[in-house]
Amino acid sequence: MTEQAKTKKLINAPENIIPEMIEGMIAAHPDMLTLEGATGRAVVAVDGPRDGKVGIVIGGGSGHEPAFAGYVGRGLADAAAVGNVFASPSPAQISDAARAADGGVGVLMLYGNYTGDVLNFTMAAEELAAEGIPVRHVAVADDVASAPLERKHERRGIAGDFFVFKIAGAAADLGEPLARVEALAQAANEATRSMGVALSPCSLPQTGKPNFTIGDDEMEIGMGLHGEPGIRRQKLAPADEVTDELMDAVLSELGLSAGDRVAVLVNGLGSTAQIELYLVFRRVKQRLDALDIRVHASWVGEYATSLEMAGASVTLIKLDDTLQMLLDHPCRTPALTVGAVGDGLAATTSRGRRSDKAPEQRGTTEAEVQRELLTEGDVTPAIFRGMIHNVGEQIVAEKDWLSELDGVIGDGDHGVTMEIGWKAVQRALEDAPENETIEGTCKRMAKAFLDAVGASSGPLYATAFLRAGTAVGDRLNLDGRGMANWLSAACQGVRDRGRAEPGDKTMIDAWVPAVAAAEARADKGLSALETLVAAREGAEAGMRSTAAMESRRGRSAKLGARSVGHIDPGAASTYVMLRAMAEALEKALAR
């Protein structure tokens, strides 16, 4: 079996691709965009945020350009939080965008309905609420292929973002209050339906490998925007037949009648020729004309892509007078201009934000609290940091395997995401003082991982580390019981934040048996190493058991029975983590 050829990318270092893209984007549109905040990921409209106006914050992973930062500008979004490729922005990045957008009357956050986005935007909202900034949310969920109508709250957002963002931005620009802007955005969300088809895969810049395989004569109906498998794979069909299938699904839910009005978006996924997109629109228009449904406005082109994926999606929004007025409201952004926003709208020197001073960050040093700590156990703070460093080494070594697992049932970026997070943890450990306790190290790990990783893994691992550190806050060293407490708290943190349970085919299916095995050893008074080895063995068994499960959480839940037969990548990375910790502890104790 020959090795798969790598795809070609016009990039520099893969790890710098997002900061360099943002730098180029700001340089190309200095009259519309600027960069604010310490994270370097909040792209802000030069003349958007202003005193007394609801701030519109959008965001999501990169790789979908011009979404999301391309929709930042007067009359549309005030700021966008830019995540890594196919990964949600982190809470810190989202908070930077929200603070920049805040005009004193609240912020509306808009994002696709994906687990990582929901977790990270929710965590950011909690932080902002503590600062006194009112926040509302709308998670766009327009993809009819991703869940049946009775479970539409589970649907993912794809190109429907385009219409929801536009209408919310217009409402805010017109001075509507926060509750009204939220209601109008939700009305747009309810009135919007999309469905897509993929003809070829895309490839992540960090791997250079296609994130799924598809035959030269095949297409995937209902493909997700990150390469998630759709509802069916079949032989390539003529454009009219494909468009009819997409339109049948969309029209069946919108409840359109003769005389109704819609707006249409025919969206290319990254490398579909305009010729093909106009063929699709031609058939869309024919279908609507036959039903006596008027097309009020239409867009044909690339508005929400998936890197270089070939394929297209069709999005319709059913209009009433209010939604039509908001859709027609002028805006000016790099990716979309509607009407004329008028003269005299250049940058202002002050936009009425509550404060230009970022909130004070709480440190993670242990000098704040002096207390008597338990010293029993072989795992000292220094040994613990070595164990965590080894996790980073092993995650990097297994990056391709983890991404391959994710490519089968997800979007193929899990290994890359884990590498980013654990490298950030390794860098953070370099700054740790020698006398930092295990609890302090866990706080440091949580902040580093969360700041670096915006995918669902970021909040999940950050919560796990914080809970685990708190659970051993009374200890200097860890013995068998302390190690079991650390593992148990980490597991519970993931469960509480992610709302997953055993059998859902997630990392929990590795964590739960790992903790059960560790608790059994600790109850017998065995050492930290013996406890951790048992956890490793439990995690491995749990990981392997996920192959027989049908996914019920996250992006792969859309696959149903198609997810059976494949190991869950989150469970795999959990096993790698515990394996690496046990390996490092064994070596440290053998010295």
Query: Which residues belong to the active site?
Result: 226
- Conformation bin of residue 560: beta by default, left when phi > 0, alpha when psi is -120 to 50: left
For 113-178, the three-class secondary structure string (H helix, E strand, C coil) is CCHHHHHHHHHHHHHHHHCCCCEEEEEECCECCCCCHHHHHHCCCCCCHHHHHHHHHHHHHCCCCH
* C-beta separation of 469 from 447 below 8 A: no
Checking DSSP bridges between strand 42-45 and strand 79-85, what pairing results, if any? antiparallel
Q: How far apart are the first and last CA of the chain?
A: 43
Please tell me the distance from the alpha carbon of residue 360 to that of residue 369, in angstroms, as a whole number. Answer: 19
Cis status, amide bond into 66, omega within 30 of 0: yes
Please tell me the distance from the alpha carbon of residue 103 to that of residue 273, in angstroms, as a whole number. Answer: 41
Half-sphere exposure of 93 (CA within 13 A, CB side): 30
Q: How far is CA 301 from CA 202, 236, 264, 275, in A?
A: 18, 21, 11, 10
Residues forming beta bridges with residue 270, ordered by sequence position: 309
Q: How far is CA 53 from CA 102, 107, 173, 525, 587, in A?
A: 8, 9, 7, 61, 59
* C-beta separation of 264 from 299 below 8 A: yes
* C-beta separation of 89 from 81 below 8 A: yes
